[in-house]
Structure 1
Amino acid sequence: MRYLLIVSHGTFAPGLHSVLDMLVGERDDVLDCCMTSDMGAEAYVQKLEETVAPIGADDSVFLFGDVIGGSPLTNAMNVLTKKGIMERLTVFGGANLPMVITAAMEADEDDATLKERVIAEGQAAIREFVLDLGGDEDEDL
């Protein structure tokens, strides 16, 4: 099984997970863990170990973090390495909703193909939204 693990500072990870559940339905293969402001590194690692307990030795993981190099992501990588998952771990930083939706909706794809699609969707979602506020008063909005 391939798991999607979302980790973050604050409540970004559970929020992203919640929106994913709304859009694609609840799934057993999506996990989240967040590091809150009142939590030290040890408490976060303990919570993370509990979160990833269902992941088995033969499973793979797509790990989504809010910030590359941030404590939630680096600690998640360490915990998964201790579980023996490193060879089947794909790590993404700067996670956004389109990336996670793609990973969830195209779960049947092989890891390499899915990785390319996740990155492409994440990049495509980042752009400026520009309104055309032209002065033509006769046009309907």
Structure 2
Amino acid sequence: MISLQAVNRAICALYQKALDAAGTGAKLVAEDVSKPIIRPSGKVELEDGTDARLLASGRERTATFRLYYFAKDRDRPKLENLAVRGAIGEAFLDGITVEDTYLGIDEGVSFTVTDGVLVASLELTLTEPVPEADAEPMEELNLDLEVT
């Protein structure tokens, strides 16, 4: 079973590669930042998700990750946001590999810009088998359907 922590690490690694490729010099910062925002920087947050059982043998988990980019110049972020957007699109184009397991991105990466902050959203679905509980096998049932 793939943990959400492992998925988060893989996303952070790909996002940092995208930031490096965009040439911004930005680094990822912790999610729970209480101090003023360091610019340029990136941030990854885990948002909404579900965890459900599929029939008797499977489990499906969904998670939404949001990647934030805070441009160096908060008053003129357009060109930096475009460079980072392109780099994120390239980095996540082929999905994510976590612990030798490929995860496709359900609807691709969606982008929005709010107050000059670029936000990329990734929605993932993890479908995994659930091992059956150890139990005694059923006894053999012999049924005679012939009426006498």
> Normalising by structure 2, what TM-score?
0.29
Higher strand share: 2
Higher helix share: 1
Question: Larger radius of gyration, structure 1 or 2?
Answer: 2
